Amino acid sequence: MPPPFAAVYFDCDSTLCAIEGVDELLAGAPPPLRAEVAALTHAAMEGTKPLAEVYETRLQLLAPRRAELDRIGALYVARLVPDAAALVSALQFLGKQVGIVSGGLLVPVQHVAAHLGIPASHVHAVPLVFDAHGHYVDFDRSSPLWRNGGKIEVLQRLPADQRPVAFVGDGITDAETIGTADLFVGYGGVVDRPAVRARAPVFVATRSLAPVLHHVTTAAERARLARLAPFAALLSAAEG
């Protein structure tokens, strides 16, 4: 479906941010554990293992403490993909609702949303459960986002004023939204996944997220942006 869109939602890891939060949780871990978790993550993102199987095993291995989540959130903000903030600002200026749907952990994703001015009500990720001392207990199994098809469920629940909706993401669980999102934009600027590129009706491979603008806005909307100096650099990057 062509624009205009009422809402644009983004994945977080390797889409809005140039890192994978799970990789950062592994900092300082023994090499065998890093290798095991990295292999699980790769399998989930490429679609060769069911996400639910990978998700549970990975968190059991990592057992992150509550304090680590804020550290990961700060890293997300520090490693935003080029033009991510400007793109979100431009879309919001045009009156579009912007949100995040991520299989990542809720607290770090909330850091990104707060930095970008995305309302908390538009942020969907997986909460963790901790004990009174901040030790990992479990994840919220009521969230659909720890398994395949979870992003489809979230998009299906969006209110009518957020349709039509475009979704932007890098992984196979993002590509699952094809047919539910009114447009899926595959993003390969951080990790170019052949399986996603093959399925995506639209694919952006530049490091900058700016070219996404062309796929989720009309020419008239971009003309509105062109009249405002703060968006000049974004439009130039989108053309490039």
What positions carry a catalytic annotation? 11, 13
Of residues 21, 86, 102, 16, the one with CA closest to residue 58: 21
* pLDDT band at 58; cut points 50, 70, 90: confident
What pTM did the predictor assign?
Answer: 0.93
**SS3 for 33?**
helix
Calpha distance 231→226 (Å, rounded):
7
* CATH number listed for the domain at residues 7-239: 3.40.50.1000
Beta carbons within 8 Å of 24's beta carbon, 6+ residues apart: 71, 72, 75
Sorted by where each begins, the domain ranges of the chain are: 7-239
Q: Which residue has the higher pLDDT, 50 or 124?
A: 124
Of residues 80, 81, 86, 82, the one with CA closest to residue 98: 86
pLDDT tens, residue by residue, 180-220:
999 999 999 999 999 999 999 999 999 999 999 999 999 99
- Looking at this protein, which amino acid is placed at residue 214? H
Of all helices (H) and strands (E), which one includes residue 178? Answer: none
pLDDT tens, residue by residue, 127-148:
999 999 999 999 999 999 999 8
Q: Which residue has the higher pLDDT, 27 or 190?
A: 190
In degrees rounded to 5, what are phi and psi of residue 155?
-65, -35
